[in-house]
Amino acid sequence: MTATSIYDMQHLENGQEHKPSPGLDIEREYDRLRDLARQEQEKRATLSSKSQQAYKQGDGAVAHKLSEEAKTHAEKANQYNKQASEFIFRENNVPGRVAEDTIDLHGQFEKEVEIILKERISHAQKIGQPHLHVIVGKGNHSTNHVQKIKPKVEQVCRQLGLQYTEEVNAGRIFINLKGEGAAIPPTAHDGNVGHDQQGDQNNELEKLARKFVPKVLKKLDGCCSIM
């Protein structure tokens, strides 16, 4: 991550909480980064195709040169996708925007979902959290409105042997981290949390973010390799 990044990657690692980006159109910035990644992927595909053609024609030197250029664009695409993933994760999970037992995975690609969710579940279990609410959305922004985050979350739960259920509030999944049934506690997210209690939750979430987010961001490095 260079000095010209969208945001300073060190602010959480230095023990500072992330604040919402003032005056920034979050969705537009996210779309910009994903679009830059797509452009790099298209360049990679074009160069890869030309490299194969050159190889078939017996021009190994040109084929190698084009192949190396394709790899460069693939790496750029990975970096743009990583920036987009980190950016939207931080913005969606700002303390106070989600509760301490909740994680918002809007905007994540499937591989990103797997990495982030596994890390979050592992951390929650270590600190004794009994459950986790996962915001997966309704697929409104996915191609042909096909949900991708929800099936990946369910797959991760099955892999880890965790019970889960879709909440009444569509677009959310409840995961029981205690190895029991996935019945949602009747008091969970009833909207009646008092001011003092909410403040305590925000403080706890800030502590969680300082420990959890840097680990996730490190694991995101290279997770979106172009196939």
Instruction: Kindly list the domain boundaries of the chain, sorted by start residue.
Output: 21-91, 98-180
Hey, how many other C-beta atoms are within 10 angstroms of the C-beta on 108?
24
Does domain 98-180 sit in CATH 3.40.50.880?
no
Q: What angle do CA 220, 133, 164 make, to 5 degrees?
A: 100
Q: Judge whether 177 and 121 are in contact, CB under 8 Å.
A: yes
- The answer to whether residue 222 scores a pLDDT higher than 60 is no
Using DSSP bridges, classify how beta strands 163-166 and 131-135 pair: parallel, antiparallel or unpaired.
unpaired
Instruction: Out of 16-25, 76-85, 112-121, 186-195, pick the least confident.
Output: 186-195
Please compute Rg for the chain using Cα positions.
20
Indicate the average pLDDT of the chain. Answer: 79
Partnered with residue 174 across adjacent β-strands are: 133, 165
pLDDT of residue 169: 79
Q: Which helix (H) or strand (E) holds 157?
A: helix 149-160
Cα–Cα distance, 148 to 137 (Å, whole number): 9
Tokens 């979902």 correspond to 113
- The answer to whether residue 207 scores a pLDDT higher than 60 is no
Cα–Cα distance, 103 to 108 (Å, whole number): 12
Helix (H, G, I), strand (E, B) or coil at 211: helix
Among residues 174, 182, 181, 168, the alpha carbon closest in space to that of 150 is found at 174
Helix (H, G, I), strand (E, B) or coil at 170: coil
Helix (H, G, I), strand (E, B) or coil at 99: coil
Instruction: Compute CA 18 distance to the chain's CA centroid, rounded to the nearest angstrom.
Output: 16
The pTM for the full model equals 0.71
Cα–Cα distance, 70 to 43 (Å, whole number): 7
Cα–Cα distance, 211 to 214 (Å, whole number): 7
- Which DSSP state fits 179? S
Instruction: Out of 34-43, 125-134, 140-149, pick the least confident.
Output: 140-149
